[in-house]
A and B are shown apart, each in its own frame.
Chain A
Amino acid sequence: MPPIKSGFYLLTLTPTNRYVVFFCIRALNSMVVPLVMSTHSFSLNVATINGSGSQSSNNVLVKSLFRMGLPVGGKNMFPSNIAGLPTWYTIRVDEKGFTSRLPHNDIVVAMNQTTFLEDQKSLKSGGCLVYNSDLKLVEELIRKDVTSYGVPFRKIVTPLSDSVKLRKLLTNMVYAGIVSQLLDIPEDVVKSVVKDMFSNKFKVVDSNLDAIDAGRTYANENFDVSSFAYKARPIPGANDNKLLIDGNSAGAMGLLQAGCTFAAWYPITPSSSLIERFESYAGKYRINSKGQKNFAVVQGEDELSSICMVIGAGWAGARAMTATSGPGLSLMAEAAGLSYFAEIPAVIWDVQRVGPSTGLPTRTMQGDLLSAYTLSHGDTRHIVLLPAHPKECFDLAPRAFDLAEQLQTLVIVLSDLDIGMNQHIVDRFEVDTTHFNRGKVLTTKDLESMESFARYKDSDGDGITYRTLPGTEHPLAAYFTRGTSHDDNAKYSENNIQYKANMNRLLKKWETAKTLVPAPEIENSSSDKLGIIYYGSTWEAMRETKALLKEDSLEVSTCRVKALPFHKDVRNFIDRHKVILVVDQNRDHQMKTILGMEFPSVCHKLVGIHQYDGLPLDAHELHQQVLAKVDLQ
């Protein structure tokens, strides 16, 4: 018989045509094509029910892969719910180092009855399906074009504990054992992760290790482990100077190194863990010899109060911040204008989620850019910092406070759920040794040599005026802060000329801000045809998209914007190229809109591309979007 062409054939299996299955006949050609060609790059998706404790098991897997030196990323797609709804965790290992989300999976661990059919649908043909055979499944519905591994979890977990509750939790650790065995993750690596993870709880370590063992043993005894199509191939030492970390933990460390002493907040997903982490780190590293706290964290009654507490603390001279997400940012709008107009340093850390309204509260989006930039009524503009990944959350935190105090204004850090709550592989953090820039603050001593002090007088010509802090003991020190229009001496003024002069000075300060914000990250190609502007978490997908474009031999320059207002290099980048694609993760092309607003004479060059379904950006789709736009030009 002639060799059958390798590939996938569609067959109709039932007369009623109710379903179709794919199946692989590659095996028939085993003489032509090797039977097993294990792949070292893969995307693994674990489908469970939230509240079942699967997060620990997923962490064991992702961290084990990280400790093997692999480029790995973990993304949690979770419901806005405490227990009982479907949740997914995707781990991508890629030997080229790309960790953005893929639309299809190579391996699916199906633990959830209700989503089983959808979950196995996400598998690539030829992929591997590890599923809970205790689920009520119609055998025929299991895809035949994938290799399936049914696991009787109940049977495996029963001897592990008498407690029903614990057995439920351990079930997840069993799949971690099975998957780690199938992927050839060394036992000692998995065990070291479990031990570190449950460090202070020996009993917990033991029961979890037992579950891992049970899973690994089951896989060994019942599956042909060596034929599993995907293998984690260690790259010794590759991650020695790397971290696998979420942006909220990184940001919390950033707040500590930034000298933040006051945080007021109102709990909201996905920002809560930022403050909780800060409080926990500060509780360890910011306690003085008397056991007192060199920080204060206040849980406000709402976001309005939280930002007003921050403004009060900033006015009194502390480095103060609040963390929130879209709905909270909306509530803070009035106070944002106060910070801008009365010129009081404040930092809002917005971990964006999907709006409008309550939207998709546990999905990711760059949806607050436009509102953050102009938050509040009247002519207001705010400094916006755009971290791309956890390391920048750490590094930009001190910059945020420096800018807020130097410019005496609100600085909004725009992180998002993908950066903030998912695990990213980044370079190890180093402590920033540059001194804080506390801005123009006059002390009693300074005032002693002065004849007069006017709070809003532009003595230096940069639009930034001097302030004194409440409590400064000098007859010249006091002034009256107000959100109403004021003269140079901070006195109430309804004078039109005075108002306009003040607004113009704020604009001058805005020009100064452009020289202080972080410059964009630019990679210029030799061609002036095409430039791509992007920002924030789209960085992860853009890395891969850039590589794909390189494979197409398409010459593309890129510019990653790190802050608003735009640094002069952004404008230069636009000027240098004929066409500029602007990547946004929102429906309304918010970055493109702001670019067009700030640079109207070149807005004809701007072409927007975007994804906005709440999932982290898909690099391959982005690649196609770029190609489609290039074709059109």
Chain B
Amino acid sequence: MSEKAVKTNSLGLTKKDYLGSRSTLCTGCGHDSITGHLVTSLFQSGLNPYKVAKLSGIGCSSKTPTYFLDRSHGFNSIHGRMAPLATGVKSVNPTLTALGISGDGDTASIGMGGFAHMIRRNLPIVYIIENNGVYGLTKGQFSATADLNTKMKSGEKNPFVAMDLCSLAIDLGCDFVARSFSGDAKQLVPLLDAALRHNGTAVIDVISPCITFANHDGSTKSFNAVKEHLVQLQELGFVQPQEEIQVDYEEGTTQNVELADGSHLILKKLNSREHDLKNRSRAIELLHQARDNGEILTGLFYFEQSSKSFIDVLNLPDLPLAALPESQLRLNQEQLNEMLTEFK
């Protein structure tokens, strides 16, 4: 193959430049598909790998940041603490794109507090939940997103109602909430493209079947069960800022959402469900209805360009706090004396 044939992005980088180490997850794991889609999105978005911070907690999903973007700094931290870790990283260096990978255990159980408060603060981050309803790394216990009555490999039924992280995120005020399926590149890649450009918390809950512990009959998150119950809310297309929008859909069936950098997300209505992306209560209603019908509804549920992210609230200097030179941080004796007058 000649060099010319290798496709490069806006930075002149090839897709290879966005790859990482080889995955050590089980063959066929949904998480590996997500990694692949992520690489596609990062590559076509022309993101500078040096300016990405890959962050995760603990679990199978949290291992995946080693499998992409070898040129980026990464941090596989402690169980359930990716959100606060990211808060610290972003606060002192907002020039980094925070890419957070978590799982359903890492987010919905041990990390729930951090997750909720990250959303409340509207921290700019792409927060991906690789959701399989089980604790894979500890061999198959139910997680908090396991559906009611879904079966463990042993046949044991889950007695609890599942937490819906999307309706929760919407309720907490998150401005970008979507659900997708690890096997649906056509939907997930545009969602990732859009999330990377969102100035605030973007939550994407990706149903990602566990091939080893939840792929049996009776599991509501097996590949077959997911495919059978999957209902797409919209068909998605992403248009780069410089590209011309060519919509050949029937009028009234598409929504064109402009993102912060001038790019667009085109959403085509696929069924009779009416949905306004800025209607929180309707979005939650749709999710509840889908759950009651035994459907796995995917798509973009809520979107609004955030007026203020956490970084805006912090009112930070142009130079990241982490890069401020000593000269801008020192205290001089006059300032100290002024402070000390209170104690004289």
Partners in one complex: yes
Nearest-neighbour CB distance to chain A for B209, whole angstroms, equals 25
A4 within 8 A of B: no
Return the chain B residue nearest A423 by Cβ: B343
Q: Which candidate, B71-79, B142-150, B222-230, B236-244, is the interface stretch facing chain A?
A: B71-79
Are A312 and B85 in contact, with the CB atoms below 8 A?
yes
| Chain B neighbourhood of A295, CB < 8 A | 321
Contact A316 B114 (CB under 8 A): no
Report yes or no: A296 in contact with B91, Cβ–Cβ below 8 A: yes
Q: From residue B123, how far is it (CB to closest CB) to chain A in Å?
A: 10
Does B315 sit at the interface, judged by CB under 8 A? yes
Q: How far is the CA of A469 from the CA of B89 in the complex (A)?
A: 11
* Given A298-B87, A430-B333, A473-B50, 11 new contacts (CB under 8 A): A304-B81, A305-B117, A308-B114, A313-B92, A315-B75, A317-B93, A428-B340, A471-B95, A471-B320, A473-B48, A478-B71
Chain A 493-525, CB-CB to B under 8 Å as 1, else 0, gives: 000000000000000000000000000000000
B155 located at the interface, meaning its Cβ lies under 8 Å from any Cβ of chain A in the complex: no
Q: Is B50's CB under 8 angstroms from A477's CB?
A: yes
- 8 Å CB contacts to A: which residues of B233-253? none
Residues of B within 8 A of A479 (CB): 73-74
Within 8 A of A (CB), among B59-90: 65-66, 70-78, 81, 83-90
Quick check: A472 and B340 within 8 Å, CB to CB? no
* A306 interface residue (CB < 8 Å to B): yes
Q: Is B323 interfacial (CB-CB < 8 Å)?
A: yes
Bound-complex Cα distance A338 to B77 (A): 8
A436 at the interface (CB under 8 A from B): yes
Residues of chain B with a CB closer than 8 A to A309's CB: 84-85, 87-88, 91
Interface residues on A, range: 35 or more
Are A480 and B76 in contact, with the CB atoms below 8 A? yes
Nearest-CB distance from B84 to chain A (Å)?
4
Query: Is A330 located at the chain interface by the 8 A CB criterion?
Result: no
- Name which residue of chain A comes closest to B317, CB basis: A292
Q: Is the CB of B344 within 8 A of A243?
A: yes
Asked if A245 CB lies within 8 Å of chain B CBs, one says yes
Distance of A314 Cα from B330 Cα, bound (Å): 18
C-alpha spacing A302/B87, complex, angstroms:
13
List 27 A–B pairs whose Cβ atoms lie within 8 Å, in order of A's numbering: A262-B88, A262-B92, A285-B335, A286-B329, A291-B315, A292-B318, A293-B316, A298-B87, A298-B91, A301-B114, A305-B83, A308-B85, A309-B87, A313-B89, A315-B89, A316-B53, A316-B96, A319-B329, A320-B92, A335-B78, A431-B333, A470-B53, A472-B73, A473-B51, A475-B71, A480-B65, A480-B66
Contact residues of A between 201 and 244, Cβ < 8 Å to B: 243-244
**A335 contacts which of B81, B318, B336 (Cβ < 8 Å)?**
B81
A483 adjacent to B316 (CB under 8 Å):
no
**Assuming A243-B340, A478-B72, A478-B73, is B92 touching A305 (CB within 8 A)?**
no
CB distance from A438 to the nearest CB of B (A): 8
Chain B residues within 8 Å of A491, by CB = 21
Task: From known contacts A249-B343, A293-B314, infer whether A312 and B66 are also in contact, taking CB-CB under 8 Å.
Answer: no
Count B-side interface residues using an 8 Å CB cutoff: 62
- The answer on a CB contact under 8 Å between B93 and A316 is yes
Considering residues B87, B326, B328, which has the most beta carbons from chain A within 10 angstroms of its beta carbon? B87
Q: Is the CB of A312 within 8 A of B89?
A: yes
A261 and B332 within 8 A (CB) = no
B239 to chain A, nearest CB (A): 29
Shortest A348–chain B CB gap in Å is 14
Report the separation of the CA atoms of residues A566 and B265 in the bound assembly, to the nearest whole angstrom. 61
Is the CB of B331 closer than 8 A to any CB of chain A? Answer: yes
Contacting pair A317 B78 (CB below 8 A): no
User: In this assembly, does B270 line the interface, its C-beta being within 8 Å of a C-beta of chain A?
Assistant: no
Chain A neighbourhood of B76, CB < 8 A? 480-484
The answer to whether A471 and B96 touch across the interface, beta carbons within 8 angstroms, is yes
B-side contacts of A435, CB under 8 Å: 326
**Which residues of the partner chain A approach B96 to less than 8 Å between Cβ atoms?**
316, 470-471
Residues A313 and B88 in contact in the complex (CB < 8 Å), given A293-B314, A294-B324, A431-B336: yes
Ranked 7 nearest A-B pairs via Cβ: A312-B88, A470-B73, A317-B322, A305-B84, A318-B92, A313-B88, A309-B88
Question: Taking the complex as formed, is B113 at the interface, i.e. its CB lies under 8 A from any CB of chain A?
Answer: yes
- Distance (whole angstroms) from the CB of A69 to the closest CB of chain B: 12
In the assembled complex, which residues on chain A have CB atoms less than 8 Å from the CB atom of B5?
A: none
Question: For the complex, is B1 an interface residue (Cβ under 8 Å from A)?
Answer: no
Q: Is B6 an interface residue (CB 8 A)?
A: no
Say how far B331's CB is from chain A's closest CB, in angstroms.
4
Say whether A311 contacts B326, CB under 8 Å. Answer: no
Residues of A within 8 A of B89 (CB): 312-313, 315-316, 470
Residues in A neighbouring B74, C-beta threshold 8 A:
478-481
In whole angstroms, how far apart are the Cα atoms of A292 and B72 in the complex? 29
| Chain A, 256-277, CB within 8 A of any chain B CB | 256-257, 259, 261-262, 264
Complex alpha-carbon distance, A503 and B307, angstroms: 48
With A300-B84, A470-B93 in contact, is A477–B78 under 8 Å at CB?
no
Contacts of A296 in B (CB 8 A): 91-92, 314, 316, 321
Contact, CB under 8 Å: A481 / B93: no
Q: Please tell me which one of the listed residues A301, A334, A429 contacts residue B113 in the complex, with CB atoms under 8 A apart.
A: A301
Name the CB-closest residue of B to A262. B92
Name B residues whose Cβ lies closer than 8 Å to a Cβ of A.
21, 48-51, 53, 55, 58, 65-66, 70-78, 81, 83-93, 95-96, 113-114, 116-117, 314-318, 320-324, 326, 328-333, 335-336, 339-344
Tell whether A304 pairs with B84 under 8 Å between CB atoms, given A281-B339, A294-B321.
yes
| Inter-chain contact B114/A253, CB cutoff 8 Å | no
Known: A244-B343, A301-B117. A316 touches B336 (CB 8 A): no
**In the complex the two chains form, is B88's CB within 8 Å of A308's CB?**
yes
Q: How far does the alpha carbon of A316 sit from the alpha carbon of B340 in the complex, in Å?
A: 33
How near does chain B come to A100, taking the closest CB pair, in angstroms? 20
Nearest B residue (CB) for A277: B339
Instruction: Flag A34-76 by CB within 8 Å of B: 1 or 0 each.
Output: 0000000000000000000000000000000001000000000
Q: Which residues of B contact A320 (CB under 8 A)?
A: 88, 92
Report the bound CA distance from A301 to B118 in whole Å.
9
Q: How far is the CA of A469 from the CA of B324 in the complex (A)?
A: 14
B88 in contact with A288 (CB, 8 Å): no
Q: CA–CA, A491 to B74, complex, Å?
A: 11
In Å, the complex CA distance between A314 and B343 comes to 32
Q: Is A91 an interface residue (CB 8 A)?
A: no
Q: Are B322 and A313 closer than 8 Å at their CB atoms?
A: yes
Query: How many angstroms from the CA of A264 to the CA of B114 in the assembled complex?
Result: 13
A468 partner residues in chain B, CB cutoff 8 A = 73
Q: Which of B91, B324, B343 has the most CB of A within 10 A?
A: B343
CA distance A431 to B335 in the complex (A): 10
Chain B residues lying within 8 Å of A338, measured Cβ to Cβ, are: 77-78
Given contacts A243-B343, A296-B314, A316-B96, contact A306 B84 (CB under 8 A): yes
Interchain CA distance A491-B76 in the complex, whole Å = 11
Q: A111 within 8 Å of B by Cβ?
A: no
CA distance A429 to B332 in the complex (A): 12
Whether A492 is near chain B, meaning CB under 8 Å from some CB there, is yes
Please indicate which of the listed interface residues A262, A302, A471 has the most CB atoms of chain B within 10 Å of its own CB.
Answer: A471
Nearest-CB residue, chain B, relative to A468:
B73
Q: Determine the residue in chain A with the shortest Cβ distance to B120.
A: A301
Chain A residues contacting B342 (CB-CB under 8 Å) are 196, 249
Give chain A nearest CB distance to B201 CB in angstroms.
14
Return chain B residues, CB-CB under 8 Å to A136.
none
User: Does A18 make an interface contact (CB < 8 A)?
Assistant: no
**With A259-B329, A435-B326, A481-B74 as contacts: A294 and B317 at CB distance below 8 Å:** yes
User: Does A155 sit at the interface, judged by CB under 8 A?
Assistant: no
Is A305 within 8 A of B81, CB to CB?
yes
- Residue among A281, A300, A311, A312 with most chain B CB within 10 A: A312
Let me know if A165 is at the binding interface, CB within 8 A: no
Interchain CB contact under 8 A, A471 and B86? no
Complex contacts, A290 vs chain B, CB 8 Å: 317-318
Contacts of B73 in A (CB 8 A): 468-472, 477-481
* Bound CA–CA A293/B87 (angstroms): 17
Query: What distance in Å separates the Cβ of A486 from its nearest Cβ neighbour in chain B?
Result: 10
Given the interface contacts A285-B331, A312-B84, A316-B93, does A262 sit within 8 Å of B321 by beta carbon?
yes
